[in-house]
Amino acid sequence: MQLNVGLLGGGSWGTTVASLVARNTRVQLWARDADAVAQMNTEHRNEKYLPGAVLPKNLTATTDIAEAVAGADVLIMGIPSQGFRSVLEQVKPHLRAWVPVISLTKGLELDTRKRMTEIIQELLPGHPVGVLTGPNLAREIMAGQAAASVIAMDDEIIVQELQSLFRSGLFRVYTNDDVIGCELGGVLKNIIAIAVGMGDGQGAGDNTRSALITRGLAEVTRLGVAMGGRAETFAGLAGMGDMIATCTSPQSRNRHVGVELGKGRHIDEIIEEMVMVAEGVKSAPAVMALAEAHAIDMPIASDVFRVVCGESNARQAFRGLLRVTPGAESEPG
């Protein structure tokens, strides 16, 4: 039996996931941009976010959120973190009971510090909740290159059905029951990617990059475990895998922000010219608040936070990290 899938969000990753799922079942994508919706329906393209990519002909789009949600057997949320709650509020009157809701969003809500699955549980109690995450660069996947992802849910039966829904061609999907760890891996690595970008923007080499990624992963794991995730999750696709891709790819938005900061540009100027959201910038204050609440020392993330908030600059942050006296590798710093 074919499922009806509603996917909310017409950005690069939302459109890519809709394209993957459309190979297996019916998908209707909701987006606010009427021109983009028209282009997807008539030309099977989304040139603003995925220039040159051809979308499946059975992927339809709409500007009517009720139309996308009312008949959905599965709802996928590809909405940036700071607009996630408001879109869910619009969804609530139209979504049938017990429909699984899957988040693609790698961010935290700034005011509440909540993960997206926590917001779903708050606004849509009773609905099975999950997250699709991993080292997934949209343009590579649309080009047909091999990639792997993780679908994380508490319900073992539903997660296996969704594994089949998302799996397509060279896009492999693994399952995991550590929702907290998988979700936080996707959130926290964005902060480290900005740090790596700041080093790259100042001409740092491969040794520096690998050190920042490794020590950054240690920071991310400490906070993730303190918040209820499992340490082994951060050594997998949702942790290490996603961090490597985000910290090293020229396609990474968060790394791009760091590179431009490393060149001496101001954060507002960088964000102004970006088409897509860099979640690490939005989530940095919430991440640091969580680190403080859980008494976790995160020196790399802390320096990134000060730079994106305008309290420091990339050169000062880089020098500060180099001056940190190292102790045992198992310790912070």
The domains located in the chain, with CATH, are 4-177 (3.40.50.720), 181-323 (1.10.1040.10)
Check residue 274 and give its pLDDT: 85
Check residue 328 and give its pLDDT: 66
Catalytic residue among 48, 106, 114, 189: 189
Positions in the chain whose pLDDT score sits under 50 = none
Classified as helix, coil or strand, 149 is strand
d(CA 99, CA 102): 10
Check residue 251 and give its pLDDT: 93
Q: Which two tokens stand for residue 87?
A: 């879109």
* Amino acid occupying residue 233: T
Check residue 130 and give its pLDDT: 98
Check residue 47 and give its pLDDT: 96
What's the pTM value of the predicted model, to 2 decimals? 0.94
Q: Which two tokens stand for residue 289?
A: 């608040």
Would residue 189 show up in a list of annotated catalytic residues for this protein? yes
Helix (H) or strand (E) holding 152: strand 147-153
- What Rg value do the Cα atoms of the chain yield, rounded? 19
